[in-house]
Amino acid sequence: MPLEHPARIRNDFSALETLVHEPVGSEPELLARLKQIHATLYGVDLATYDVDATREGAPELLAAIFHLYLAARFRVSEWRYQGLMSREVQKALRDVLGVCRYAGDMISEVHLGHPRLADGAHTISAFTGSDLNTKVNPIFATGNVLTFQDGDVVLMRGMRHNSAAIARIGDIDSQFSHLGMIHIDEAGVPWMVEALIEDGAVVSPLEHALGHDLGRAILFRHRDAALAVRASGFIRERVARSRKNFFLRIHYDFSMRLDGYRRLFCSKLVRQAFDVASRGRVKLPTFPTRLDMKNRDFFHRIGVTATETFAPGDIELEPDFDVVAEWRDFRVTSDLRLQDMLMDKLFEWMDAYGYRFDETFVIRLIGVFGKLASRLSDEAKEMLADVVPKVPINMKRRTIGTIAMLHKTAEPLFEELRLLEARSIAASGRPLHPREVRDILERVRERMGGEIGYLVAKA
């Protein structure tokens, strides 16, 4: 069949953006419209488009995709006011936002000739690079370098398999694994206030936080600037004070529960900041993630006891936050996409077929040594980081072992997917479609049977 020109994709996006702007009168109508948009975007197959024409038209296509993303997200406040944001609508809208992101990634990869991050190299710092890397909301575009404001919130995605697991662990898929808050001090120096698994709550230079091997990031800004400043000031002061005394440290909250602020996970830190600054008026998230997998073995192993939480990606649907800019390093977006599909399948197999992690003697040893290492000083942990993972003192041996099993199960499957993607690019100049990746992983499951890495199907 003859290849199509990407101008058709551009026209499709323009038509979909018009569809997003049209008024809706009921929840079923909105749900059907969002599903139509998602089906149209998900059905776009770059194999039917001329590679050279797609490469040439990529910048214009990316702009159209970003405008569609902003248009869909902008209407959340209105749809919420109308009472249309049911659980089904939330999921459908997240699917639309996610497929916009994947479409932009894949078109950009084709445009750039599928660049790859060299072994041992690091990603560029978030919100740097070319205009292709960072798309700025026209409302905030000044023509100058992107500037941060006190109280801005940054949604991020790391490169590890456990980052992909955090992004996909809930009932609504996300492409992000971490959330932090920007604080700008009296001297104008920007800092990141965040809760990390390995270090608990910390304050670090913003440059360091954004240059820490991220693959994608979005900058959000609350519409009440004064509230955001108060939130930033409170949480920065609380965390800075806690770092002065070991016994006051704010450890990472593995439970993912929203009650109490003695321990914090990344999103809960942002939740407390706005909760306290607003005197209880702002309780994030508006649309929480549910952790309702039937097979809760994985949750039990990593210490999660919550059934509803504030996942990092939930910030994407917050009505009172605007998207300022979105950034990604296109040398790693393919890997992030493969990790997403892989984690989707691992969690699906746990729920549908009863797969559970099966510890071996070696894994138990890893957990024991990791736990022992957690009692060392921060300096000693840094020195041993290449030998023994940097483990927080409140992480349980079983959790350490489960993270190790997750990595060792995912890594060979991930490398197989990377090889198949490289073959697809070499043969056609196009990356694998997410649909193709899911089909490949199902064939892998059938081939491997009841034992996939450390995952074993339990009767």
Q: How far apart are CA 7 and CA 20, in angstroms?
A: 20
Predicted local confidence at residue 388, as pLDDT: 46
pTM, whole model, 2 decimals? 0.93
134-328 belongs to CATH 3.90.1720.10? yes
pLDDT over threshold 90, residue 331: yes
pLDDT band, very low/low/confident/very high, at 384 (cuts 50, 70, 90): very low
Predicted local confidence at residue 114, as pLDDT: 93
Q: Which are the contacts of 143, defined by CB distance < 8 A and separation ≥ 6?
A: none
pLDDT band, very low/low/confident/very high, at 1 (cuts 50, 70, 90): very low
pLDDT band, very low/low/confident/very high, at 24 (cuts 50, 70, 90): very high
Helix axes 397-428, 361-373, angle to 10 degrees: 110
Going from N- to C-terminal start, the domains of the chain cover 7-112, 134-328, 333-457
Lowest average pLDDT, out of 2-16, 73-87, 357-371, 421-435, goes to 2-16
The full length of the chain comes to 459
Tokens for 338? 């493969």
- Mean pLDDT rounded to a whole number for the chain: 90
pLDDT over threshold 80, residue 48: no
Q: Which are the contacts of 10, defined by CB distance < 8 A and separation ≥ 6?
A: 57, 60, 61, 64
User: pLDDT tens across 133-186, in order?
Assistant: 999 999 998 877 789 999 999 999 999 988 899 988 888 889 999 999 999 999
pLDDT over threshold 60, residue 376: no
Three-class SS of the chain: CCCECCHHHHHHHHHHHHHHHCCCCCHHHHHHHHHHHHHHHHCCCHHHECHHHHHHHHHHHHHHHHHHHHHHHHCHHHHHHCCCCCHHHHHHHHHHHHHHHHHHHHHHHHHHCCCCCCCCCCCCCCCCCCCCCEEECHHHCCCCCCCCCCCCEEEEEECCHHHHHHHHCCCCCCCCCEEEEEEECCCCCEEEEEEECCCEEEEEEHHHHHCCCEEEEEEEEECCHHHHHHHHHHHHHHHHHHCCCHHHCCCECCCCCCCCCCCECHHHHHHHHHHHHCCCCCCCCCCCEECCCCCCHHHHHHCCCCCEECCHHHHHHCCCEEEEEEEECCCCHHHHHHHHHHHHHHHHHHHHHCEEECCCHHHHHHHHHHHHHCCCCHHHHHHCCCCCCCCCCCCCHHHHHHHHHHHHHHHHHHHHHHHHHHHHHHHHCCCCCHHHHHHHHHHHHHHHCCEECCEEECC
Q: What average pLDDT does range 3-29 have in this prediction?
A: 78
Q: What average pLDDT does range 383-404 have in this prediction?
A: 71
Predicted local confidence at residue 377, as pLDDT: 61
Q: Which are the contacts of 418, defined by CB distance < 8 A and separation ≥ 6?
A: 335, 338
pLDDT over threshold 80, residue 45: no
Q: Which are the contacts of 56, defined by CB distance < 8 A and separation ≥ 6?
A: none
Q: How far apart are CA 443 and CA 413, in angstroms?
A: 12
Lowest average pLDDT, out of 38-47, 81-90, 201-210, 439-448, goes to 38-47
- Percent above pLDDT 90 for the chain: 67
Tokens for 155? 């949604």
Predicted local confidence at residue 47, as pLDDT: 67
User: pLDDT tens across 87-118, in order?
Assistant: 999 999 999 999 999 999 999 999 999 999 99
Q: Which residue has the tokens 């205009």?
A: 131
CA 68 to chain centre: 20
As beta bridge partners, residue 442 has none
Are 235 and 273 spatial neighbours (Cβ–Cβ below 8 Å)? Answer: yes
Closest to 105 (Cα-Cα) out of 159, 46, 36 = 46
pLDDT band, very low/low/confident/very high, at 387 (cuts 50, 70, 90): very low
